[in-house]
Structures are given as C-alpha cells and as structure tokens.
Amino acid sequence: MKSNVGGIDKILRIVAGIALVAWALMGGPVWAWIGVVPLLTGLINWCPAYGIIGLNTCPIKKS
C-alpha cells in the first residue's frame, strides 16, 4: 500500500474521526461509529477510495 493521504487531509480525518467516535462513546447515535473509518485512514495514511479514483494528497518526495 502506497500512502495516498497526507497533510491537512490527514489531520482533518483524524480530528473528525476522534470527534465522531467520542460522540458515539458519550451516547450519541449509532451512526457516529462511522468515525472509525476516517480515523483509521488518517492514521495509516491510506484511503482505499482514493486508490480507486486515483486521488493522492501526499506530498511528492524527490530523491
């Protein structure tokens, strides 16, 4: 798996994921558990949907 999530995209995914999971843990609606998805994709730097549509928000590294 090549990383395709980076920068502000990664930060937003993690923050939104934590917020949704916290809401679910505090008695929010069941659908708030969907926050696990952006949280995990932000933490592992890879989004399967981005791979399918060919999107990449990671900075290009030059060697």
CA distance 31 to 38: 13
Domain that holds residue 42: 8-53
CA distance 1 to 15: 23
Tell whether 61 is covered by a domain.
Answer: no
Tell whether 45 is covered by a domain.
Answer: yes
Tell whether 30 is covered by a domain.
Answer: yes
Tell whether 63 is covered by a domain.
Answer: no
Average pLDDT of the residues in 2-25: 96
pLDDT tens track for 15-62:
999 999 999 999 999 999 999 999 999 999 999 999 999 999 998 765
Tell whether 2 is covered by a domain.
Answer: no
Q: What total of structural domains would you count in the chain?
A: 1
